[in-house]
Structure 1
Amino acid sequence: MYNFVEHGGKETSTINEDPVKYEQFMKRIEAGEKIEADDWMPEEYRQTLIKLISMHGISEIMGALPEKEWTPKAPTLKRKLGIMAKVQDEMGHGQLLLRVAEDLIKPYGKQREDLMNDLLTGDLKFHNVFHMETRTWADAGVVGWLVDGAAIISQTNMLDASYGPYQRALQRICAEEVFHAQHGEAIIMELAEGTEQQRNMLQDAVNRWWPALLMFFGPDSASTTGSSKQEVTTKYKIRKSSNEELRQAFLDKYLPRVFSLGLTIPDETLRYDEEKEYWIYQQPDWNEFKKIISNNGPRSKERIRLREISYEKNRWVRQALAPAPAYS
C-alpha cells in the first residue's frame, strides 16, 4: 500500500506533525463537517482512507469476476441480462472509488495506475469473498443476495463518513447495491421454490459460503492479535460500528430470511441469546482468512491473472485517452 514512509515521507506522529492543525481538524470531525481532498488532514487519516477506499474499489472490480464466470452460463436470457448489468455496475463502482483514492495518493506522486499495479504485485488486498469459487448457479444467487447484503450493511455504516468524496460516492453505490441484492434474492427464491435438485444445490452453496460470509466483516479486535484499525476509523468518524456489530446486524437481518426458506446454517452452535440479544456462533478460522486475503484463496491466482491479462490487453485504450504531451 501507499505507506507514507515507504514512499519517501518523513515518519512523524499524527499529532506532532502539526498540533494546532490537528486540533482544528478534530474539531471539524466532531462537528460533523466533511473533509475534502484539498483540505489539510493528518497522515493517519489519509493513510486510513487510502487503505480503506483503494481496497473497497479493487474489491468492487475483483468482485465482478465471480459472477462474470456465470454470464455465459446463466439459465435464461433474462438472468443473463441481469447478471451482465450487475457486473457492469460493479466495475463502475470500482472506477468511481479508485478516482476517489487517486486524489488521496497524488501528494505522493502516485496515480490510479499505481493502485492497479499494487493489486498485481500483491500489495493491495481485496475482500475474502471474491477469492472464492462460484461452482453453481446457486453461488451466483448467494453472491448477489448474501454477499451484496453484507456489503450493504458495511457500506451504509459509512454513509455519513467524514471524508466527503467517499461519502458522496457511497450514496450512489449503496443505492445500486440494493438492486443487486434484489437480483440475488430473485435467483434464491426461484431455486428455493424449485425442484429438489435445485433446493439441494442452493443449500450446498449456503454451506460452502457461510464461513466466508462471517469473515467478510473482518475479525473482532478482541479475537485476534494486532490492531484491526477499527478504532482509527471510528475515531475519525469514517464509520460508526465495529466489525462484530456489523456481523451481528447481518445475522439479525438475514438469518430469519434464510430459515424462512427452509435452509439451514452449517453451525450447530448457532443460537440467539435472548437475554443478551446477541447471536452466538462458531468463529471462522481467522488464520484461513489471513491466508485467503494474502492471495492464497481457492481462486485467487486465477482471478488476479485474469485481471492482469485484461489490464495489459486494454493498455492501448488508456494510452489513447492519456493527455497529449506538451510541446515547447
Structure 2
Amino acid sequence: MGEMFACAGCDCPLTVPLSQVALPVLAHQSYGRERWLPPLMAAGTYAVDPEPWGPPGRPWSELGEGEAVARGLFAPVAFPSAGAWGTFVMAPGDACNTVLTPESSRSACCGVDGGEGPNLRCASCGAPVGTRIDDCDRWQEVRLAREAVRRIPVDGHADRALDWAALLQETNGTPPIAPGGFWDSRWEATAGEALAHLVAASGGEAVAVPDGLIAEMFRRPLGRLLPGPPPAKTLALAGPGLPVRDPAPDLLLVPRHPQTGEVWQPPGAAAAVPLSADVWIHLAFHNDRLLIPATGRLPELVLRDEPLPLRPRQLFEPDSGVFLHTLARLPAVRAPWLRRIYDRVSGSGPYPGRL
C-alpha cells in the first residue's frame, strides 16, 4: 500500500500516490553553478529526512553539547538548521495543487530554494505546506512540512520492498562517468559518505585498497588522510551475489538498500562500510577493464570496444561536503585523531586541505 499527501487544513490532495524509500545520500550534496542538477527523488517515491531542515540556522556556539548530541551532531557544524524535523522529500513532478510564492526565495541564485521559509502554498486554502527547490547548486526537490500535511493510504498502489536477489535482477547499476566526461555526482556523493565511515573504522591506521575503480575512489584520499605504509588494514567489496573471502578483509564495502535504507551485513567481525546500491552493483558486477586494441577480424566471442568507453576528464574526488556531513554525525569523530582530520578538511584546523 502506498500513500499520498493532503493539506492538513482542507484535505486538498497535494501529491500523486507515492512509495516510501530511503533518503538518498545526494540529499546532502550541492555543486555550485557549474552544473544544473536533476530531481533528487525518482518519480513516484518519497523519503523522510530525519534531521531538521531549512531556515533558520543557529550558530554552533548557541548549541550546548547536550543539545548537539541529542541532534546527532558530534563535531562543530556551521549554522545547523533549526527548521522543521521529518520533512517529506519528493520529486517536483509528483506534487500537485500547490502555488509557488517566489518572494519566499529571494536568497536563491538562479531559481528558488526556500531560504526564507516555505514557498509552496495549498492551492485550495492558501496555507503554507512546503518548499520547492530548483536553484543551480541543488538537486531539485519538493519538501512538505510534516505539520502542514497528512498522509493518506492508497489501496492498490504497490509499496513492496525488493529482496536483494530481486534488486540485483532489476538494477543495472550507475556507470561512474556521466556524458561529457564528468564523474557522476552519485559516485562522488557515495564515495564521500563511504570515506567518512572508512576513516572512522580504520582506527587511524593505513588501509590497503585493491586496484581498479575502488582504488580510483579511495586510494588517494585515504593516503592523504591516514598514515603512510605499511597498511595495517585491508579493504574489499562484499555483498549479495559475491563469494565470501577467506581470510576476510578488515573493512568491507557493502550495499545499502535503496528502499529500506538497510545496510547489508557481512558475516564475521569485519566493519561494514555502506555504499549506495546503484554504485555498489556497478563495482561488483561490471567489468571496467580496457580491452586490448586488435587489428583484422576478431575471433568469435572476443569483445569489441566500439564505441570507446567514456573516460574521466579529471581525477576522482569524493564529495567533501558529504564527507563532513557524515563524519560530524559519527560518534567516533570525538576521538582526538579523527577530530583533527575533521577540522583539517572543514578548514577549521591549522592545516586546512581537501580530501
TM-score by length of structure 1 reads 0.23
Structure index of larger Rg: 2
Query: Normalising by structure 2, what TM-score?
Result: 0.22
Which has the larger share of strand? 2
